[in-house]
Chain A
């Protein structure tokens, strides 16, 4: 199957700093990438959808200035959490697909802890 690599797997940062998470499709071109947040024992909450070369579409309630998403190429998307606060601590997951009604392939996830 297709491989999506997400980096880092975990990160600890100080409150007020920014942290960047990368999501790469290793063996296919991802026209669409999704970013999710997952709280413990809960489902995935879609934060935004990004299409290569276009601005990301954010879900209602997600602050676009706080969660910056860039999808500059067909194999790379980044999520930057700006001015992180402890309440931003969570598990973030990216997924990538070739668009249409096909399945999405997921990265390993990033556990972010803001101290």
Chain B
């Protein structure tokens, strides 16, 4: 069965600095998607970034980028120039048809002013 592991329950970063959140997963499949979702205090789940497993190029979205290491089954999220609004719970997620999305336990990110 597929699993997603986030080994950092909480992290803190100084405003304007860079932080990396870790995620590893386990699967025997070769075609799948990986995601990072953000859940701020409002509890609305927001998609931050996605990565197709067949793409070697790491996905980027403005200040957010991933380091996707398929062989190592690692999918870390880097947030550059951290802002106060980045404070949230971050969930790493895996999806492989048919359909079920598997979430990690989450990492709570604190931004220090």
Which of A's residues lie within 8 Å of B, judged by CB?
1, 32, 34, 38, 41-44, 46, 49, 51, 91, 93, 95, 97, 99-106, 108-109
Q: How far is the CB of B11 from chain A (nearest CB, A)?
A: 15
- Inter-chain CA distance A41–B41, complex, in Å, is 11
Select which of A1, A43, A104 is within 8 A of B106 by beta carbon.
Answer: A43
A46: chain B residues within 8 A (beta carbon): 100-101
A44: chain B residues within 8 A (beta carbon): 45, 91, 103
Q: How far is the CB of A107 from chain B (nearest CB, A)?
A: 8
Interface pick from B18-26, B29-37, B64-72:
B29-37
B101: chain A residues within 8 A (beta carbon): 34, 46, 95, 104
Query: Considering the complex, which residues of chain B in the window 46-105 have a beta carbon less than 8 Å from any beta carbon of chain A?
Result: 46-47, 50, 52, 91, 95-97, 99-101, 103-105
Taking a contact as CB atoms under 8 Å apart, the answer to whether A105 and B47 are in contact is yes
Which of B's residues lie within 8 Å of A, judged by CB?
31-33, 35, 37, 42-47, 50, 52, 91, 95-97, 99-101, 103-106, 108
20 extra interchain contacts, Cβ-Cβ under 8 A, other than A42-B106, A43-B105?
A32-B99, A41-B108, A44-B45, A44-B103, A46-B101, A49-B99, A91-B43, A97-B99, A101-B31, A101-B32, A101-B52, A101-B95, A101-B97, A102-B95, A103-B35, A103-B95, A106-B37, A106-B44, A106-B46, A108-B44
- Inter-chain CA distance A107–B50, complex, in Å, is 19
Closest to A34 in B: B101
Taking a contact as CB atoms under 8 Å apart, the answer to whether A109 and B91 are in contact is no
| 17 A/B residue pairs, CB under 8 Å, sorted by A | A42-B105, A43-B91, A43-B106, A46-B100, A49-B99, A93-B43, A95-B45, A95-B101, A101-B32, A101-B97, A104-B95, A104-B101, A106-B37, A106-B44, A106-B46, A108-B43, A109-B44
